[in-house]
Structure 1
């Protein structure tokens, strides 16, 4: 499975990097539109609907993070099973094989990283939304000072 993942890994990195780089400015502008609409007296319901669409768009673009987290959890379960079997095992040759398998998983942990810089884990959608909100605040401050 890990060998098959390494084949797909480069294509997946490129796909995720392109999706994130091309969609982030759109998300920032959409979140700005949400804030702008929300500040109008009658725009709260429309702003909530637009915000839900934006959050859904971020979650869809970062859906590989969910798969990555599920794989990490499964590998943790495999480690726990190997340790349990190692403790219960009385056969020296089987015990040696279990130690080798556990050592292999420990040496080659599952990590999915975009361009060796951005880890793909369950925190990624929250980080992107936080980045967008921070940029919306900066945009609003610049617009406020340019109106003075």
Structure 2
């Protein structure tokens, strides 16, 4: 495994353990060149989940991309980062099909964030739904209030 710090080609495994309820292996590695440590995750890849983008092309699902969006939405919020990681890396297993629309990924992520944190939900929704005006933003917040009250 190539070191993310110095790009040396060799590292040794210091510790391995199951992760994500046995769906992956977490490996703690040490670079043989710079001696820094880093973590890798290994998981079986049978058939990649394909994401159908809004403009039509298809690309392989990347859980890191989903996790990055979730982390940005929850920045400085009291949300468990392990829950975000479990959602992103378990997403492919939960879908149960070989293809999914990018819009469906966004909907599922919003459904996941909604009970965790309203601010994170609004942040994610503002990017996912591409709010183009203050009025649209206010409508979404009012929808949250209505759901809370009733």
TM-score, normalised to structure 2, is 0.23
Query: Looking at both structures, which has the greater relative contact order when contacts are Cα pairs under 8 Å and sequence separation is at least 6?
Result: 1
Higher share in helix:
1
Structure with max Cα Rg: 1
